[in-house]
Amino acid sequence: MLQQTTTEAVIPYYKRFIEKFPTIQKLANANLEDVYKMWEGLGYYRRAKHIHETAQIIMDKYQGIFPSDYQDILSLKGIGPYTAGAISSIAFHQETPAIDGNVLRIIARQYLIKDNIALSKTQKKVTEIVQDLLIGYDASSFNQGLMDLGATICRPLHPQCEKCPIHESCQAYINHQEQVLPINIKNIKHKELNYITGIITYQDQFLLIKNNQGLLENLYGFIQYELESPYSFIEEFMNEYHHSLSIISYIQDIKHVFTHRTWHMHVYHFTINKPLENMYTLHDIEQLPLSTAHLKVLKAYLKETNLNH
Ligand code: SF4
């Protein structure tokens, strides 16, 4: 849960999750939709799918006991080198590095590494340095110490070098480069997408579809097309579902930012003249995992139409 999400945001989710799935076995046997439901609002839903699959792997392959070996941990779903390193060092006291953004920054500064830390070859170099530093030390304390140093003192901007317990050995500090390093240039193309998002209703029911793939796999949402007019939406809907829609009103523009893309959802309310199979009342929707983006859409609609819920 803590990947890409702050501790503060995670705490209530974590508590609810542990209450609902107190053991690996319960999680493994749960319905995936229930796991998604507990994740609703937290974002990055792939994590929910991964934790569910991982619980099943642990039941099948490790007799329900979380593995302690680094390579075994790394082979689990959704666990990369950083998380595997953190688990094996903190939970199982193995001498494994846990390289996250904080550690990359501290090591780049300590060793005056002028290479781009976004590149995997630089990350490999940093991993090797930490691997050597760990020999003979308690990896759990070492890794947590680096994480804390990065979170509190060796911050990305304005590091507090005077307070830093390792400033005497810091080459960036000695060479007045602490405000320059690390070099961190990510080559990520951020996509901006425009959608017409349709809230399609029949009496008190809403049409929702379950995504079978992509960013929001397994989550429910409203139908949206990458178009620029609600009239084209009606045509597209006719092509796909062979039903006509009537346009009722414009609701609102809603922006939702993902890691590599931004959705601009231009939300309109339509009605359909007979109910389709996948139509749900507000009461039904409460039980379904809805994507965060579309939860915002629903809230905007309810506010706009003054429906109490
Ligand atoms: S001396 Fe400054 S730049 Fe170097 S590790 Fe400490 S806080 Fe970071």
- Cis preceding linkage at 182, omega within 30: yes
Write the DSSP string, 87-107.
IIIIIT--------HHHHHHH
What does the pLDDT average to over 106-121?
93
Model confidence, pTM:
0.65
Pocket test for ligand 1, best of 114, 147, 170 (most atoms within 8 A of CB): 170
Residue 58 burial class via C-beta count within 10 angstroms: exposed 0-12, middle 13-18, buried 19 and up? buried
Give the Å distance between the CA of 178 and the centre of ligand 1. 7
pLDDT value at residue 129: 96
Tell me if 104 CB under 6 Å of ligand 1: no
Q: For residue range 32-64, list pLDDT tens digits in order.
A: 999 999 998 888 888 999 999 999 999 999 999
DSSP code of 128? Answer: H
Counts for the chain of helices (H) and strands (E), in that order: 13, 8
pLDDT at residue 164 greater than cutoff 50: yes
Which domains can be identified in the chain, with CATH numbers?
Answer: 98-187 (1.10.1670.10), 191-305 (3.90.79.10)
Average pLDDT, the chain: 92
Q: 308 pLDDT exceeds 50?
A: no
- Please tell me the distance between residue 177's alpha carbon and the centre of ligand 1 in angstroms: 10
Per-residue confidence (pLDDT) for residue 309, from 0 to 100: 44
| Residue that wins the pLDDT comparison between 212 and 121 | 121
Atom 1 in ligand 1: residue holding the nearest Cα: 167
Asked if residue 170 has its Cβ within 6 Å of ligand 1, the reply is yes
Q: How confident is the model at residue 212 (pLDDT cuts 50, 70, 90)?
A: confident
Ligand 1 closest atom vs CA 106 = 5
CB-based burial, 1-27: b 16+ in 10 Å, e otherwise: beeeeeeeeeeebeeebeeebeebeeb
CA of 185 to the centre of ligand 1 (A): 20
Give me ligand 1 centre to Cα 110, in Å: 7
Count the neighbouring beta carbons within 10 Å of the beta carbon of residue 87. Answer: 21
